[in-house]
Structures are given as structure tokens and as C-alpha cells.
Amino acid sequence: MKASSRSNLFLLTLYLAFTSSIVHAQTKYQSVGGVKLVIEGTSNIHDWDMRSDKGYCSSLFDITNTGTLNGVSYINFTVPAESLKSEHKGMDKNTYKALNTEKYSNISFTASSVTVKPNGAAGYLLTARGRLTISGVTKDVVLTANGIMNADKSISYNGAYQIKMTDYNVEPPSIMMGAIKTGEFVTVKFDLLLRSI
């Protein structure tokens, strides 16, 4: 091998060794304490909400050796539909019926691509394109969330997304023999904390 070729090979090896020390590492994270989910809706009488803290999320984050969130390879989220509770058992019962929970027990989201942009000193804006499945119907959606890399390297983020229930073949539930009718749009708010595993 010529001296110039050996020199080039040495320089390439040195470059790869240097860059490997600064590139990101993929780290698996999962939710801690359950994902907090709030579904807010309207009716002809008053606004209403349903809540759950039983959701589960797993993600693969690209973290640099300086602790910076560089990217997200995937996000998987699921919540048992019947873990959603309101202040009215009648509302819950009719909602589960509308969601057909006997056949479709979970609501889920799987991201196919995620972009991360810095937002403040330790904050990030996550934009996740993926597939949301409700009551057996799957739609392509784009979710956005505000994230923070905490001092202990855990990651917390929150966001909101508006859903038209009839897009997922869900008839807006009603209670009191139809006297209270809900609107067809709901806003889903999520708040979660993730730690590496």
C-alpha cells in the first residue's frame, strides 16, 4: 500500500473515531406512572371531560453524549379505552358503547416519522406523523408536542389534538335518554414523563 493511501486510511479511521465519540446514541424510553390523558368535549348543556392515567408509551430517542435530544426514531402509545372515566357512569357506559370497546379495547398511536426542533434552553417541539387507531379505524395524523429534557435525563412532553369522532365511525354519545347530546369534536390532551430503560 502506498504511503499516501495509508495516510488517507489513517485519517479516515481517525475521523470516524472522533465522530463516533460525538454522535448520538439511541436510547429506549418508556412512560413512568402512566400517560395522563384528558378528552374534552361539548354538549348542548355543558362541557364535559373524560380522564385516564393508564396509558403507556415507549419511544426510541437519539441522545447526544452531551445530553441533547437529537431525534426520535419511533413512538408507540396505547391506552385502554375503558380506563377513560368521566363524572357520570351513564356517560362512561354510552362512550364505551360508541367506541365498541368489547371489540376494540385500546386506542393507539404509532409514529412513522418524528422531527425535533429546539424550543428554548432545554425545550423541544416534536412533530410526529403516524397512525391513530380508534374503534378499529385507523387514520393518518400529525401530532405536535412540547418536550423538555429534565436534569435527570428524563423527558416530559405534552400536547393536544382535535378529533372529529365520526371520522372514526364513533357516534357522539348522549345521556339521559338523549336529552344531553355531545358535539362531534373532542380535544385530546396528553401529558407524560419518560425515562430511559
Lowest mean pLDDT among 46-55, 66-75, 108-117, 162-171: 66-75
Answer yes or no: is 152 within a domain: yes
Answer yes or no: is 12 within a domain: no
DSSP lists the bridge partners of residue 45 as none
Answer yes or no: is 143 within a domain: yes
DSSP label of 166: G
pLDDT one-digit tens code per residue, 120-157: 877 999 999 999 999 999 999 999 999 999 988 899 99
CATH code assigned at 168:
2.40.128.110
Domain holding 56, by residue range, is 23-196
pLDDT of residue 159: 97
CB 135 within 8 A of CB 156: no
Q: How far is CA 79 from CA 74, 127, 180, in A?
A: 17, 20, 26
pLDDT of residue 20: 45
pLDDT of residue 132: 98
- Into how many domains does the chain fold? 1
Answer yes or no: is 153 within a domain: yes
Copy the grid coordinates of residue 194.
419518560
Q: pTM for the full model?
A: 0.82
Answer yes or no: is 18 within a domain: no
Of 133, 15, 124, give the one whose Cα is nearest residue 61.
Answer: 124
CB 159 within 8 A of CB 190: yes
Confidence of residue 67 (pLDDT cuts 50, 70, 90): confident
Answer yes or no: is 29 within a domain: yes
Answer yes or no: is 187 within a domain: yes
Answer yes or no: is 113 within a domain: yes
